[in-house]
Amino acid sequence: MLSTPFDQPTVIRDATVNDAAQLIVLMRMLAEYEGYAVRFVITNDELINRGLAMNAPAQFKAWVAAIDRTLLGYAIVYTIPFTFDLRPTIVLKELFVVDSEHRNGYGRQLFSAVNQYAQSINARLLRWQVLPNNDSAKRFYRSLGRSKDSQWESWSLDLDSTNSRCFTPCSR
């Protein structure tokens, strides 16, 4: 546990069903920052059903930074079960800490929880993406001794776009 300026214990812990409503608020804050808020459709029920419910297979794992019952940040990962070496890869999908708490170490603690989890399942690789203009995230990851992956580029196909339906060269 970490002590805050107000001597309230800060805990990094697994997210639970009881965190869903606050987690959605933080996720929406990240969506606004990253520019996809208009497409953000996650609901409390979906968040619970897809990963926080104890009685269903989880599609993700999440940790929160909390003081008492107030969430200050979170990390969400999903697992690629195996690649060429038959070991899992962990994808850090989201790591977010509210602006006012950036200097309190919660990001480091959340990243540490993710790293410990990855090691506990014998993952070979932990991957994540950073927006090109998110200099504060880049500084954060560099401060952890991490560096940009120079071997791979991120590519995508928006399956909702018209061009995704073309299996041969499409004319525009």
Distances (CA, A) of 107 to 27, 44, 80, 137, 170: 15, 23, 23, 10, 44
Average pLDDT of the segment spanning 153-157: 87
**pLDDT band at 1, cuts 50/70/90?**
very low
3-class DSSP assignment, residue 159: coil
Does residue 146 have a pLDDT over 50? Answer: yes
What is the structure's pLDDT at 162? 67
The pLDDT value given to residue 4: 44
Are 40 and 68 in contact by the 8 Å Cβ rule? The answer is no
Alpha carbon 62 to its chain's center: 8
What is residue 167's predicted lDDT score, i.e. its pLDDT?
59
> Among candidates 159, 70, 131, which has minimal Cα distance to 140?
131
Q: Which residues pair with 115 in a beta bridge?
A: none
pLDDT digits (tens, 9 = 90+) for 7-19: 567 799 999 999 9
| pLDDT band, very low/low/confident/very high, at 2 (cuts 50, 70, 90) | very low
What are 26's two structure tokens?
A: 């933080």
pLDDT at 3: 41
| Amino acid identity for residue 113 in this structure | A
Q: What angle do CA 62, 66, 68 make, to 5 degrees?
A: 135
What Cα–Cα distance (Å) separates residue 84 from each residue in 27, 75, 87? 32, 26, 8
Residue for token pair 């606004």: 32
Q: Give the pLDDT confidence of 110-137 residue by residue, as tens digits.
A: 999 999 999 999 999 999 999 999 999 9
Q: Sheet containing 61-67: which strands, arranged edge to edge? A: 2-3, 9-14, 61-67, 70-80, 89-97, 125-128
Rounded CA separation 75/92 (Å):
7
What are the pLDDT digits (tens) for 23-67? 999 999 999 999 999 999 999 999 999 999 988 899 999 999 999
Among the listed ranges 115-119, 151-155, 158-162, which one has the minimum average pLDDT value? 158-162
Q: Which residue has the tokens 């195996």?
A: 82
- Determine if the pTM surpasses 0.75: yes
pLDDT of residue 160: 84
